[in-house]
Structure formats: C-alpha cells, structure tokens
Structure 1
Amino acid sequence: MLQQIQEIGSHAMDIYDYLLVGVDPRLKGYPLMESPVPMSVILLCYLFSVLYLGPRIMANRKPFQLKEAMIVYNFLLVALSIFIVYEFLMSGWATTYTWRCDAIDTSDSPQALRMVRVAWLFWFSKIIELMDTVFFVLRKKHGQITFLHIFHHSFMPWTWWWGVGYAPGGMGSFHAMVNSSVHVIMYFYYGLAAAGPRFQKFLWWKKYMTAIQLTQFVLVSLHATQYYFMDSCDYQFPMIIHLVWMYGTFFFVLFSNFWVQAYVKGKRLPKQDIKHYQNGTSVHTNGKAHENGSGINHGTGNGVHHGATNGSAHHENGSAHMSKMKKA
C-alpha cells in the first residue's frame, strides 16, 4: 500500500512538472486551448444561466415549442458523434493501438496530429452539448435538471480540457471513443422522440438507454483497471488513468442509482408508467395508449418530452369506478 501511495505521489509530481511547461504545442491555434480560463468562464456562465438566470426569466413565460430545433440539434450530434468515433478508430484504436498499454504519440506524424484533432473535437462536442440543459430551461422542464445532469455536463468538459491539453491520445482516450459511441445511440433516440407521437412505436428501447450508459462505465473502468496489473507501461500520464478509473466507477454508481429509482422503485416516473413497469402492461386512457411523458434524463441528454395527452379531464362511470375502488 505504501509503495502504491508513493507511486501515485510520483505520478502527481510528474503531472505538475508537465503542467508548468504548458499545453501540447500541437494544439496551438485550436479554439479555447490557450488557457483554461475561457473554458472555465463558459462553464461558470452555463451554471449561472441554467440554475438561476434562465429559470427566473422563464418563470412568467410560457415554455417554448422547439420541436424543429431539437430534431436538427439531435441529429447533428448523431452525425458529429459518428465522425468522432471514426476518427478515434482511424487515429489509432483500429490501426496501431493494442487496446492495452498505448502510449501517446507525441510526434508530428499525420496520424498523431489526427488524434490531437479528434481529441479536441470530442472536448468541443461537450461544449455544444451544454445546449441540452438550455433546451430544458426554455421548455420549462426544470424537473429534469438534476444533480446528475448538471454535474456530468459541467464536470466532463472541465476535466477533459486538461486531458486534451496535456495528453491527447493513448490509452487515456479510450473512454472518449466509448462515450461518443453511446452518444450516437442516445441522440438518435432523442431525435426520434422529438419528431412526435408517430415515432413512439420505435422507442420501445427507452428503458435500456440507462443500461447502455452503465455498460459504458463498466467498459471504461475495466480498460483502466488492466493498467494496475501490467508489469510495465510507458503511458506518459498514469494519473489520467487513475482519474478515468475513478470517473467510470463514480458515474456507474450515480447511473445505477438512477436506474433503481426510475425503473425499480418507479420514483422518477409518472404514475401511469409506474403501473406500466410493475404490471408489464400499457396504460390506456380514452382508448389510447400513453407513453412516458416525462422524457428521459441520463445526465447527458436533452430529455425529450413525448407522449400524447388530450389535455382534458378523464371522466368515467362514477358508480362503477367507485365500486371498483371499494373492492380494491
């Protein structure tokens, strides 16, 4: 144990020494990479806007209907995520990487520069995804602005700025590729959900979105864990592996709690969905099946609100209804 603590301390000192040198010179000219200050200001403004300013502005206003904008936004992110996954594969993961101990290529070769570019693009995509929460605020879906959502959307881009700035590539980029793969599926779901009720029949796999997220964190943690069982590894930033392992484990716990609360205890679902998941049957009102109207919020999505309601009170035969209630 003492030896491991000393090794971690040594790695921390190596990182500190490297931070004094500055960001990777190959990132010179990339937007927002000269200093962590602009990135930090953006994230602070994001937190202030979605937690305080936005809700106050929208307090006495009707929610915006942003169907078309959300469809375009989600499918653009699908395309961007596909491109990022492809670039990660071509930059090393499908060409020269061993999927075990892969060092960062610090040269100026075309493949190394390609990895630097896609690493930055992945980080920048996290800035774009801050719009998820903006859509929540403008549509007054305040219940979906959870701690998990806010923490993930702010913590992810802040930490990845340092990863991109000082260690673009190598085995530390595995979780970025996996995360982008998950986002292809996730934003495709949100795009379909935003398109309207006629696409509800294609969204039966909603419940499994959280399971996909959990699988992501398991893969990330397992990939990082193998580092601790290697006799030697020349990856230049072991501290990043430690952080990635903690990141995967921590978010696995958070998303597991979401799964339990939403699909086991049913605390995050409307009453009709609680009955749906407990009994395994769909709920019908006035002859029409109603889907989950709350949308899904997995920390990284824009939680499309879907399902059809007629906006009126539902009246049934009063005496028959009371009789059934008494029997129950």
Structure 2
Amino acid sequence: MLEEVFSSVSRFYDYLLERTDARVREYPLMQSPIQMTLILLGYVFFVLCVGPRYMANRKPFSLKTTMIAYNFFMVAFNSYIVYEFLMSGWGTTYTWRCDLCDTSNSPQALRMVRGAWLFYFSKYVELLDTVFFVLRKKHSQVTFLHIFHHSILPWTWWWGITLTPVGGMSSFHALVNACVHVIMYTYYGLAAAGPRFQKYLWWKKYMTAIQLIQFVLVTVHISQYYFMEKCEFQVPLFIHLILIYGTFFFILFSNFWIQAYVKGKRLPVSNEDKPKQNCITTVIEPVVVTNGKHLENGNVHYTNGFAHNGKVKEI
C-alpha cells in the first residue's frame, strides 16, 4: 500500500516536471515544489514557535529604520511589478476578458513571465512582515488570517506560474494585489516614520475596505469565464481556484471588518504571550469597547508596550 502511494507521488512529480513551463524553469525557486514548501513550513515554525520562544525574555526590537527602509522598498518593488504587468499585456494587448495563456517566446510573453515570477518572489519578501511582528513582540498582529494569507499565496502561485505563467485570466488578481500593496506599504512606511506623519494617515480606516474591493474585483473578473459562450483557457482548474481564493478571502476579511469596525473589537488584550513548551502560543482575544467604537486619538496610548486600565506599561 505504501509503495503504491510513493509510486503515485513519483509519477505525479514527473508529470509536473514535464508540464513545467520551460520559460520559468531556470528562475530561482522554480525547479521543485519541495524548496518553496520547506521555506513556508520554516516560516510557520518560526512565527509560531522559534520566534516567540526566542523573544520570550527579551525586550522588543525597535527596528524603526529597518522597517522604514523595508516598507518603502516594497512600495518601489510592487510599483515596478505593476508597471511590468501593464507593459506586458494588461495595458497593451489584453482584452480583460478571455485572455488565454501565451506559450510563445515573444518579447511580451517573456516579459510577462518575468513579471509573474517577480510577483511570486515578492511573496517571500513579504514574509518579513510577520518576522518583524515577532521581533517587535506585536503578538496580536500574528493572527490566523495573517499567517494563512502569507503562507498560502506563494505556495499556490508556484503552481500557477509553473503551468500558466502568461495569461490574462490567470494574472489579473496578481496585478490587483500588487496595486493594493503599493497603497498598503506606503501606509506602513509613513506609520513607521513616526508621529509627525500621522496627519497623512487619515485614510487608515479605508485599508480593509481596499482589501475587500480587491477580492470583489478578482471574483467579478474571473467569474466572466462561467458566462462566456467560448473561452478555451488551457488550465480551467486555475479559474476555479482563483474564484475560490477571491471568495474565501473576501469572507475572511469581511469578518475582520465586522469585528474591527462594526463590533469595535480593535484593541488587543495587553497580555504578553509566553510560548508554551509545545510551541503553541497563547491566543489573544480582542477587547470589546462597550460603546461599540474603536479608540483612536483617545485616552489610551501605547509606548512600546501595552495599556492596562488606561495607564501605560512600558517594556
């Protein structure tokens, strides 16, 4: 029985290598799904176990300069990805409807391959978001939604650019996601720069709304496939997966929106997590504000620490 399982896995692996697009085979992290799977498992293990245990008896790192540089680098990086997507199809020849995979070696197709790989690689860079949370002991930010979103996207995109690196139907969500990240990392960079930039962050409350709009656009665009009389997209499975992805994350982010802005559960409990021996950290529940409003510019302040009964406890 076990031998049959290994044999089936081996056949599937060989089949996958045969189907791998030759145009992306030489790019880093594209030779095998094993590499990227190990990286992502290591990421999850670090943020849930190694990192919290390492920081348990240490003061949080400031990382202010590092985070400013990182966030504005990500703004530039995602802006470049958006530009490449536009110049290699979305702003030139794509119809925004049934755009099939281009299997040629034309300059535009090769440019889209490079743009798709850059987007894929950016998902690994974004893993630093969580690493910074752990090192700064921002445990309330390391949620299931955050970890799941950061780990599942690069894993699924490996399969996407392995089989369909060039195609409008399979890359629209990447274009939209890169646009959203230009906005998000601009906000993060300004926020990390200090209080003097707070006046430029009035649009903070719209961040989750921007995320929700992203998933609506992705879902509406990919849903066209089901209403077209003829669209012979080469790998229909990816159409279904993108639809599921857009719908699933819309539900998750909608739940966050309701909890944060409707029920007012925005402020995390201020208990500093102590990692347990089995590497499972304490779950942090949000504080419910009795009047249903979140406290912004109010009486509770955080100075690299946590608020307890309206007083500041510094770390």
Confirm or deny a common fold (TM above 0.5): yes
Match 1:144 to one of 138, 141, 144: 141
Q: Distance in 1 between matches of 2:198 and 2:291?
A: 16
Matches within 5 A, 1:1-328: 19=16, 21-170=18-167, 171-269=169-267, 274=289, 278=293, 283-285=297-299, 313=311
Relative to 1, partners in 2 of residues 1:110 and 1:173: Cα closer, same or farther, differing over 3 Å?
A: same
TM-score normalised by L of structure 2:
0.83
Relative to 1, partners in 2 of residues 1:308 and 1:152: Cα closer, same or farther, differing over 3 Å?
A: closer
Q: Is contact 1:224-1:241 (8 Å) kept?
A: yes
Structure 1, gaps ≥5 residues long: 1-14, 294-304, 315-328
Alignment RMSD = 2.7
Structure 1 residue 269, shift from structure 2 partner: 2.5
- For residue 267 of structure 2, give the secondary structure of its aligned residue in structure 1: coil
- For residue 206 of structure 1, give the secondary structure of its aligned residue in structure 2: helix
Structure 1 residue 83, shift from structure 2 partner: 0.4
Q: Is contact 1:200-1:307 (8 Å) kept?
A: no
Q: Is contact 2:88-2:108 (8 Å) kept?
A: yes
What percentage of aligned pairs have identical amino acids? 67
Structure 1 residue 283, shift from structure 2 partner: 4.5
Relative to 1, partners in 2 of residues 1:194 and 1:276: Cα closer, same or farther, differing over 3 Å?
A: farther
Q: Distance in 2 between matches of 1:16 and 1:103?
A: 25
- For residue 293 of structure 2, give the secondary structure of its aligned residue in structure 1: helix
Letter in 1 for 2:222: A
Q: Distance in 2 between matches of 1:72 and 1:238?
A: 40
- List, as ranges, runs of 4+ consecutive aligned residues in structure 1 with deviation greater than 2 Å: 15-20, 268-279, 281-285, 305-309
Structure 1 residue 165, shift from structure 2 partner: 1.0
Q: Distance in 2 between matches of 1:283 and 1:176?
A: 35
Q: Is contact 1:193-1:306 (8 Å) kept?
A: no
Q: Is contact 1:77-1:187 (8 Å) kept?
A: yes
Relative to 1, partners in 2 of residues 1:307 and 1:85: Cα closer, same or farther, differing over 3 Å?
A: farther
Please say which structure displays the higher CA radius of gyration: 1
Relative to 1, partners in 2 of residues 1:205 and 1:307: Cα closer, same or farther, differing over 3 Å?
A: farther
Structure 1 residue 306, shift from structure 2 partner: 8.6
Structure 2, gaps ≥5 residues long: 1-11, 270-286
Tell me the number of residue pairs that the alignment of Structure 1 and Structure 2 aligns. 282
Letter in 2 for 1:234: E
Equivalent in the alignment of 1:4: none
Structure 1 residue 18, shift from structure 2 partner: 6.6
